[in-house]
Amino acid sequence: MANPGTSSLERRITVTAVVLPFVGFLAALWLLWGGAVTGLDLGIMAVMYILVGFGVTIGFHRLFTHRSFEAKPWLRALLAVLGSMSIQGAVIHWVADHRKHHTFTDEEGDPHSPHTHGAPGWRGVVKGLWHSHMGWLFDGERTSASRFAPDLKKDPLIRKIDSLFPVWALLGLAIPFLLGFALSGGDLIAGVTAFVWAGLVRVFLLHHATWSVNSICHMYGEQPFAIKDQSRNNWMVAFVSLGEGWHHSHHAFPTSARHGLQRLQFDPSFALISGFERMGWAWNVKSPKPEQVEAKRRTDAFEQELAEPPAPVAEVETREPVGAGDRA
């Protein structure tokens, strides 16, 4: 069954959600040039970036998409609301897109692979990066939530939060203004500049941090494990995305709550999940054992297998799509 297309209203909302933060970013550069930025603006932006970012990395991704741990209902709700404030889409639709990505990683059907929409040479690289970074958002194809996220569609709490996505998106922009206004003693200008920096600029930066996982982490970085997709580990992306840049490790162990599998690999999202576990707010936290990690490392035999010509199309089995299982 073909996936339903997006409506004209949904396409307009997508364009607005992408363009408005970019306009805010340009406005912030103008304010920065004129010195119209304060420590209060940057402080609120940092706090909002981290909290909302964890809503995406811990909530949308590791909890709801991959079910790498379980959590109390209030924590599930909080993470879903925070993730919605990123303005990357409602939680169920976000999860459906990502599960589809894992089902068809770097093959036809992957909604945002840089390797399926390119052309030969540097033009293909540029086209692939553009498509995987943000071009796919405008393709007009909507992933079926009934097919890829049926569990969340049956969850009354998540379904309600999903339906209120516009409220959470607007709240994520209103909070910076209210904080700037209140913490400055009622200065309206302080509220406006906080809205620009901690609202629009924060959304812009988080957008591109998340999108960089889709684009950069499927093009540039290390591949220490014996898996055949094009995912990569990239420490720079890991830094700005709160640990999501260890994307190759994530594809090797998709249901693991821990993405930074080696010492000194920056993964504050897993550190916070571990904190939730110690507080009794999260449980059944999944993480591979050291021997499992070592067993999955690339070997000479695997490299030789990669170098062999691909099997004829007629001999390749069709892979059935899955929901949130080991491939999701």
Does residue 140 belong to any structural domain of this protein?
yes
- Whole-structure pTM value: 0.88
- The answer to whether residues 23 and 31 touch, using CB atoms and an 8 Å cutoff, is no
Residue 326 domain-assigned (yes or no): no
For residue 8, tell me if it sits in a domain: no
Is 276 a member of any domain? Answer: yes
Q: Is residue 103 part of a domain?
A: yes
Domain that holds residue 120: 16-315
Does residue 10 lie within any of the structural domains?
no
83 located within any domain: yes
Q: What is the pLDDT of residues 188-233, one digit of tens each?
A: 999 999 999 999 999 999 999 999 999 999 999 999 999 989 999 9
pLDDT (0 to 100) of residue 321? 41
Q: Which residues of the chain have pLDDT under 70?
A: 1-9, 117-119, 300-328
Query: How many domains does the structure of the chain reveal?
Result: 1
**Does some domain include residue 240?**
yes
Q: What is the pLDDT of residues 235-271, one digit of tens each?
A: 999 999 999 999 999 999 999 999 999 989 999 999 9
